[in-house]
Amino acid sequence: MRRTWAVLKSTVILSLLAGCSSDVGHDGSGANTGGSGNGANAGSSGSSGAVSNGGKGGTSGASGSSGNGTSGSSGSSGSSGSSGSSGSAGSNPVMSAPPDCKTDQVAHTALRRLTRFEYAQTVKDLLKVDPTPSDDIPADEVTSGYDNNSSVLTISSLHAEKYVLVSETLAKAAVQNLAAIDGCNTAMGEDACAKQFAQKFGRRAYRRPLTDAEVQNLMTAYTAGRTDGSYAEGIEVMIRAALQSPDFLFRLETTAPTNANATLVPLSQFELATRLSYLIWATGPDDALLDAAQAGSLGSKDAIAQKAREMLADPKAKLALANFFGQWSGTNRLSITTKNTTLFPSFTAAMQTAMEAEVPAFLDYVFSGDHSFKTLLTAPVAFVSGPLGQLYVPGSPMGGATPTKMDLPATQGRAGILTMAGFMSVQGHPDQTSPVLRGKFVRAMMLCDPPPPPPDDVNITLPTIDQGATARERFSKHESAGASCKGCHTLMDPIGLAFENFDAVGSFRTMDNGQPIDVTGEVTDSDDPALQGGFNGVAEMAQKLAASQTVSDCMATQWFRFASGRLELEQDSCSLGNIRRSFADSNGDLVELVVAMTQSDDFWYRAPLTP
Amino acid sequence: MNPLRFTRRNLLRGSLAATAAFPLLEARKVQGQTGAPTRLVVMSTPNGTRNALFWPTGSGANITLNTFCKSLEPYKSKLTFLKGITLNPQLQNGSLGGNLGSEHARGTGGMLTGRPLNAGTDFISFGNTTSGWGSGQSIDQYLVDKLMPQTAFPSFQVGVHVRDTQVRARIAYKASNQPIPPREDPKDVFNALFGGMTGGGMMGGGATDPALARLWAQRKSVFDLTLAESDRLKKLVGSDDRVKLQAHQDAMRDVETRLVGMVTTGDPDGNPTPATGSCMVPTIGNTDLKVDDQYAQAGQMQMDMAAAALACDMTRILTFQWSYSESEHLFQFLNNIQGNHHAISHDFASSGTNYDAYNAIQTWYAQQFAYFLGKLDSYQEGDGTLLDNCIVLWATEIGESTQHDLTQMPYVFAGSAGGKIKPAGVIDYTASGGKKKDNNQMLVSMAHAMGDESLTTFGDPSGQTGPLTGLT
């Protein structure tokens, strides 16, 4: 099942170089795109490399402009179907690798709405209040593992309702302690104070200076509260108006280029500051960053890199980094994860809380230490609070509320985030482990090479499970079920089964249903020399993954998807290539990876407006 | 659950006592209308079915309900089992020559849109297949635009333990890539519908409380500012982003009327004059939404409120979603079932633990549907009931669960849409060698039932045109 050169030719060099083949396009028009075309129909022929490239790319057709799209009403067009087509840039999969990559354009990113998480962090900073009321905003739709994909983040009626109500609750809380956000002495005149607040607060909320007309608009809101009310009520209504404004809810980048024909549209300093702030802090720029933008001191890539490093060292970066890794690993789903209470009685609410707390604590350990990707993947340590220590090592004492470091016994073969209890819990079923989900995680999120879809004609039902068999025995049925299942599962199962020493909540075990567990495995279908050869258990696999260029490049791709709020496209070949190289050159320094994001053309420019 | 007769005193006694203002129940806009309005309801339950135990035996109106559906017996005369409906060719396969999304994903995104999912790699890790989000508007939202119901909520989306936020968890779409999330918290639903501050229709009228009137005026001021700002911004962005800003404006207009107290009252004194003789505010209890064992409790509260929202004419278009498709919900509360629903649904043994468990779960879901129908049927409207004035679709994302089948969808209609539909027991479109109908046609039939009788096609053009036959 090794990928053949014939297939690679069509997907071209970047996927070789990058290990990520998902930039390969598929234009949705029904026409095949070279060898990567036919999607699943090719599946049973055994060329799974080709299949895995099928049907990918072109996502961002996405952005709502897609042919079929808009109002979909009855007689609407959208001829032969489908979808995504028009906007999709990936119709020609040919990409060239840096330094010959395209430097004259960047991909278009759809207008980005604040995610619920970003909204919460932003209002917390803006208003100095507990942001909990923002939990009422609906959870964001998750795309490719991330909740910030701009193609799908829109404002539904439910969002609109919550934006009104949540802003009211927050504004009311904020004016209880007005002095914290408004230092104005009303002796100088209430209107003057209100206007000053509109300017200062407005600049923070809209992440740029306000025009006189915009100040006037906020003053209109102020008047609606001040009339027959108090100064504080006026401010309260002004805050509500700011928080409901599209200038706050969306990250608008409307600065017009001086050259109307520019294919690379430069961003304003304020827009750059905003990108930087949401990337590293998941919140809007603070006054200092806005001042820097106002002073024009974010004008060079060096200046931005320096600023990025400063910001990464700030405690505010912790939550944002945890947000990325929580999404990448899936551990952000712990709050909606359930387990069978009979089979996994240890998975209590307190345990869930402790698992959730471990992720940022472990990340803090990585980032305050060598910030190396390898540490993230291999460190045999846990951060335990409450009952979590007992899950890792039975007999451990109850922990306190704050996660503390625990060295894990070498006999368990623990490996950083990859065997973290919370990670094992979310990459599993409520009632059993899932070698498929775990294998798929490594394929999709670490190798950027997700398994192909099952072919059309496959009978997806598995043979009956023999009670008492180990997962490996059950999964051998994928082999006997015939080539149609085997092709795909060969990619996942030998990886996923290596995790079997850890049950569906991450407890260590050596037996499954009374049978000893075999955790040997291998990464099939990879040309990366670091991944060749078999391994015994996750810890050995983690060493291979940490040494792999494919995995390093994929990590860069994952961050890129998160940073840019979309999937990578053809125009990203330079940006992404440079980011991957920087990350590799730094020997997998995760801080440098984030800094590299800020140095790419994709970060520095935007595409011209969609006509 | 004892529905409270809606009175000012009861409300003051209830959970809203802490809120400052209690304007009285207003008359709904339905007042003055002759006859009760027609409502569209969709209830979706996950993980398909087992044909042999689902479809009734017999023919036409003379049917015997099968194992899963025995609980529907009291409403048998109001049901139509739609046998022989397949998802249209694009949903089956897609023009890309591959599967756009797993069957679970396609059956979810295509359930009410009649369209394939967008191409893309958005869900690379979903069911080993690739797809984007839904590619067009769903029938419920189409009808919102078409009929523009003047209700407090143009449409209402309810969920029970949906939790997931991926493509498999969204059935309603405003447009391509614009999925609509459901409300999953019964407290939130209660507050939205019946809470004073949020101005759900029940409480929207009667500007007798100065504090509330003031809040409304302030909100109006903010809405005006925001809408004007969006108009300005729309000129500065590209066409695709304009779609997003427009969606924001549309959403604001959807909620503005009720949030600023502009839902008109037919009674200047604000006395209760409900749309129907039996419009009531249900009570709700507490439930922990994270606990699978409390599924039934959460579901019942949501159903009670959904029925009340329809009875009180606060909305005429409602979708109700249990869990997400491919659901791994646990049912330890039901016969102490240990496995997760999805895993159980793909065990194709014809007997044994999982066979029994799947049957028990499917029977349980049918019982929930029966409970909901019972609620709807308990509201008298004129000579009939609320259920009679509904077109209810009960749907799931796939057919035979072990096969991920999309060619024999277990769809059921309930109600007669105020007479526009004649419940027929079972209609087997493939009887006597007939050709299968496409799901698009069912969506067209739903539009016809709602009064949009000029509609001939909906969703992807690969589907057959015209409504289903045998319903009128």
Contacts of B157 in chain A (CB under 8 A): 158
Quote the tokens at residue B49. 């079915």
Quote the tokens at residue B255. 């909620």
Radius of gyration of chain B (CA): 22
Q: What is the pLDDT of residue B95?
A: 43
Mutation pick from B142, B214, B222 vs chain A, by most beta carbons of A within 10 Å, is B222
At A328-348, the pLDDT tens digits run 999 999 999 999 999 999 999
From the centroid of its chain, how far is CA A196?
38
Mutation pick from B130, B163, B167, B347 vs chain A, by most beta carbons of A within 10 Å, is B130
Q: How many CB atoms lie within 10 A of CB A186?
A: 14
> In Å, how far is B58's CA from the nearest CA of chain A?
30
Residue A356 has pLDDT above 60, yes or no: yes
Are A459 and B403 an interchain contact pair (Cβ–Cβ within 8 Å)?
yes
Rounded CA gap, A275 and A306, in Å? Answer: 15
At B151-168, the pLDDT tens digits run 889 999 999 999 999 999
CA distances from A418 to A317, A439, A498, A553, B117 (A): 22, 11, 11, 18, 32
Rounded CA gap, B206 and B219, in Å? Answer: 17
Nearest CA in chain A to B158: A158
Contacts of A158 in chain B (CB under 8 A): 157, 180-181, 183
φ, ψ for residue B129, nearest 5 deg: -125, 170
- For chain B positions 155-214, those within 8 Å of chain A (CB to CB) are 155, 157, 163-166, 170, 173-181, 183, 188, 192, 197-198, 214
Quote the tokens at residue B435. 């050709």
Indicate the residue type of B467: P
Q: How many CB atoms lie within 10 A of CB A212?
A: 8
CA distances from B194 to A530, B304, B309 (A): 62, 13, 9
At A80-103, the pLDDT tens digits run 333 333 333 332 222 334 556 777
Reported confidence tier of residue A491, pLDDT bands at 50, 70, 90: confident
Q: What is the ipTM of this complex?
A: 0.89
At A272-288, the pLDDT tens digits run 999 999 999 999 999 99
Q: How many CB atoms lie within 10 A of CB B176?
A: 34
A239 vs B: CB within 8 A? no
Nearest CA in chain A to B455: A74
Nearest to B125, CA basis, from A402, A496, A507? A496
Q: Reduced to 3 states, what is the DSSP secondary structure of residue A288?
A: helix
Indicate the residue type of B175: A
Nearest CA in chain A to B133: A152
From the centroid of its chain, how far is CA A336?
17
- Percentages of chain A per state (helix, strand, coil), in multiples of 5: 55, 5, 40
* Count of positions (residues) in chain A: 611
Rounded CA gap, B368 and B360, in Å? Answer: 12
Rounded CA gap, A159 and B179, in Å? Answer: 12
- For chain B positions 228-267, those within 8 Å of chain A (CB to CB) are 228-230, 233, 236-241, 243-245, 247-248, 250-252, 254-255, 259
φ, ψ for residue B320, nearest 5 deg: -135, 120
At A234-245, the pLDDT tens digits run 999 999 999 999
Identity of the residue in B120, B170, B338 whose CB atom sits nearest the CB atom of A431: B338
Contacts of A59 in chain B (CB under 8 A): 118-122, 132
Cα angle A107, A111, A116 (rounded to 5 degrees) comes to 125
Nearest to B120, CA basis, from A341, A82, A514? A82
Mutation pick from B241, B291, B457 vs chain A, by most beta carbons of A within 10 Å, is B241
Interface size, chain A vs chain B, as Cβ–Cβ contacts under 8 Å: 391
Contacts of B251 in chain A (CB under 8 A): 155-157, 159-160
Q: How many CB atoms lie within 10 A of CB B426?
A: 23
A336 vs B: CB within 8 A? yes
Contacts of A454 in chain B (CB under 8 A): 99, 128-129
Q: Taking phi first (over 0 means left), then psi (-120 to 50 degrees means alpha), and beta for anything else, what does residue A152 get?
A: alpha
Q: Which residues of chain B have pLDDT under 50?
A: 1-34, 95-98, 124-129, 200-205, 264-276
Mutation pick from B111, B135, B187, B341 vs chain A, by most beta carbons of A within 10 Å, is B135
Are B339 and A431 an interchain contact pair (Cβ–Cβ within 8 Å)?
yes
Instruction: Determine which of A113-127, A215-229, B4-18, B318-332 has the lowest per-residue pLDDT on average.
Output: B4-18
Contact present, B329 and B323 (Cβ < 8 Å): yes
Rounded CA gap, A606 and B18, in Å? Answer: 50
Contacts of B90 in chain A (CB under 8 A): 81-82
A246 vs B: CB within 8 A? yes
Rounded CA gap, A39 and A551, in Å? Answer: 24
Instruction: Determine which of A168-182, A419-433, A520-534 has the lowest per-residue pLDDT on average.
Output: A520-534
Identity of the residue in A40, A217, A241 whose CB atom sits nearest the CB atom of B99: A40
Q: Reduced to 3 states, what is the DSSP secondary structure of residue B45?
A: coil
Identity of the residue in B115, B237, B404 whose CB atom sits nearest the CB atom of A254: B237
- For chain B positions 387-426, those within 8 Å of chain A (CB to CB) are 402-404
Q: What is the mean pLDDT of chain A?
A: 83
Name the maximum alpha-carbon separation found in chain A: 83
| E-only strand ranges, B92-194 | 156-160, 173-175, 178-179
Query: Dihedral sign, CA of A69, A75, A80, A81?
Result: positive
Contact present, B85 and B434 (Cβ < 8 Å): no
Nearest CA in chain A to B462: A80
Indicate the residue type of B424: A
Q: Check residue A451 and report its DSSP letter.
A: P
φ, ψ for residue B23, nearest 5 deg: -65, 155
Q: What is the pLDDT of residue B143?
A: 98
At A562-603, the pLDDT tens digits run 999 998 888 899 999 999 999 999 999 999 999 999 999 999
As to burial, measured by CB atoms within 10 angstroms (0-12 exposed, 13-18 middle, 19+ buried), residue B161 is buried
Contact present, A24 and A50 (Cβ < 8 Å): no
Contact present, A80 and A20 (Cβ < 8 Å): no
Q: Reduced to 3 states, what is the DSSP secondary structure of residue A462?
A: strand
Contact present, A415 and A576 (Cβ < 8 Å): no
> In Å, how far is A436's CA from the nearest CA of chain B?
10
Identity of the residue in A83, A228, A237 whose CB atom sits nearest the CB atom of B117: A83
Identity of the residue in B130, B197, B330 whose CB atom sits nearest the CB atom of A431: B330
Cα atoms found within 13 Å of the Cα of residue A83, Cβ hemisphere only: 36
Rounded CA gap, A57 and A608, in Å? Answer: 21
Contacts of A488 in chain B (CB under 8 A): 128
At A295-327, the pLDDT tens digits run 999 999 999 999 999 999 999 999 999 999 999
Are A336 and B290 an interchain contact pair (Cβ–Cβ within 8 Å)?
yes
B219 vs A: CB within 8 A? yes
Residue A54 has pLDDT above 60, yes or no: no
Identity of the residue in A59, A160, A252 whose CB atom sits nearest the CB atom of B120: A59
CA distances from A342 to A247, A345, B176 (A): 50, 6, 42
Identity of the residue in A56, A78, A160 whose CB atom sits nearest the CB atom of B251: A160
Reported confidence tier of residue A56, pLDDT bands at 50, 70, 90: very low
Rounded CA gap, B469 and A343, in Å? Answer: 50
Reported confidence tier of residue A58, pLDDT bands at 50, 70, 90: very low
Identity of the residue in B124, B132, B346 whose CB atom sits nearest the CB atom of A62: B132
A244 vs B: CB within 8 A? yes
At A454-477, the pLDDT tens digits run 555 555 555 445 555 788 887 777
Question: Pairing state of beta strands A515-516 and A404-407?
Answer: unpaired
Residue A137 has pLDDT above 60, yes or no: yes
> In Å, how far is A154's CA from the nearest CA of chain B?
6
The arithmetic mean of pLDDT across residues A432-448, rounded, is 92
> In Å, how far is A582's CA from the nearest CA of chain B?
26
Contact present, A419 and A506 (Cβ < 8 Å): yes
Mutation pick from A36, A73, A114 vs chain B, by most beta carbons of B within 10 Å, is A73
Indicate the residue type of A41: N
Residue A39 has pLDDT above 70, yes or no: no
Q: Check residue A56 and report its DSSP letter.
A: -
Buried b (16+ CB within 10 A) or exposed e, B438-453: bbbbbbbbbbbbbebe
Nearest CA in chain B to A159: B251
- For chain A positions 183-222, those within 8 Å of chain B (CB to CB) are 217, 220-221
Instruction: Determine which of A64-68, A142-146, B411-415 has the lowest per-residue pLDDT on average.
Output: A64-68
Torsion of CA B257, B263, B264, B267, to 10 degrees: -160
Rounded CA gap, A587 and A580, in Å? Answer: 11
Contacts of B225 in chain A (CB under 8 A): 217, 220-221, 241, 245
Cα atoms found within 13 Å of the Cα of residue A69, Cβ hemisphere only: 27
Are A68 and B135 an interchain contact pair (Cβ–Cβ within 8 Å)?
yes
Contact present, B374 and B382 (Cβ < 8 Å): no
